[in-house]
Amino acid sequence: MLELIDFILHIDAHLSEFLADYGIWFYAIVFLIIFVETGLVVMPFLPGDSLLFATGMLAAQYSESLNIWLVIGLMLIAAILGDALNYTIGRDFGNRMLNLKIFGKKPIKPEHIEKTHEFYAKYGSKTIVIARFVPIVRTLAPFVAGIGKMEYKTFFKYNVIGGIVWVVGLTLAGFFLGNIPIIKDNFSKVVLTIIVLSVLPIIYSFIKEKFFAKKA
């Protein structure tokens, strides 16, 4: 767990090492990370948001080694294919996977599923877009859409829209903002800020449910 936290907070340094060590294979590495985070419902903890921002920042710093538009295109394909796979898993195996245990523990936690259902109750099909920016919910949203048998045409439309907004938006933000000295020198704080902003809807919902609902 500590290694994962270190990787997330210093993902810029780790990605720089990947680029230096593996060269063109860097494209495959970021493709796989995005695909696994969005495509495998048991892997919701991978650093999607910070990885996109950091990759954009690296593309600005090492433009000769890392093409911004190629890496955006590959990560966009990974994000769309990942959500599509997750939807299919939910549609075909969802209810059985809810009881799946790995090393005696359920990787798909009931409270996370419940929170995702609340997102759907509030935002409907647009959850597929909004969830792209919310850790954990991002991975579970397509899975729950599959369980609920959302029409695939509707799911695919919001999957593509959400993928474009998420990948292009965060990667270009890193590309244009990442080399500003205050951001570059305080990258771990920037990552923490991104994480906090991402989970604010969940925190707000939790506080509202625990405290204000009781008063009502």
Task: Give the pLDDT confidence of 75-87 residue by residue, as tens digits.
Answer: 999 999 999 999 9
d(CA 216, CA 212): 6
Helix 110-123 to helix 137-147 angle (10° resolution) is 80
**At residue 141, does pLDDT exceed 80?**
yes
- pLDDT confidence of residue 112: 67
Give residue 172's pLDDT band: very low, low, confident or very high (50, 70, 90).
Answer: very high
| Residues of the domain holding 138 | 2-215
Predicted local distance difference test score (pLDDT) of residue 215: 53
- pLDDT recorded at residue 7: 60
Please count the structural domains in the chain.
Answer: 1
Which of 25-34, 62-71, 104-113 shows the lowest per-residue confidence on average (mean pLDDT)?
Answer: 104-113
One-letter amino acid of 118:
E
The token pair at 121 is 């109750």
Mean pLDDT of the chain: 81
Q: What is the pLDDT of residue 80?
A: 96
In this prediction, residues 132-153 reach a mean pLDDT of 84
Element (H, E) at 77: helix 68-97
Neighbours of 162 (CB within 10 A): 25
Phi, psi of 121 (to 5 degrees): -65, -35
What pLDDT was estimated at residue 125? 81
CB 67 within 8 A of CB 168: no
Q: Are 53 and 173 in contact (CB under 8 A)?
A: yes
Task: State the residue for tokens 């292009």.
Answer: 168
* For residues 48-56, average pLDDT: 87
Query: Is residue 31 over pLDDT 90?
Result: yes
Q: Which residue has the higher pLDDT, 31 or 16?
A: 31
| Closest alpha carbon to 140 in 47, 36, 30, 39 | 39
Q: How confident is the model at residue 45 (pLDDT cuts 50, 70, 90)?
A: low
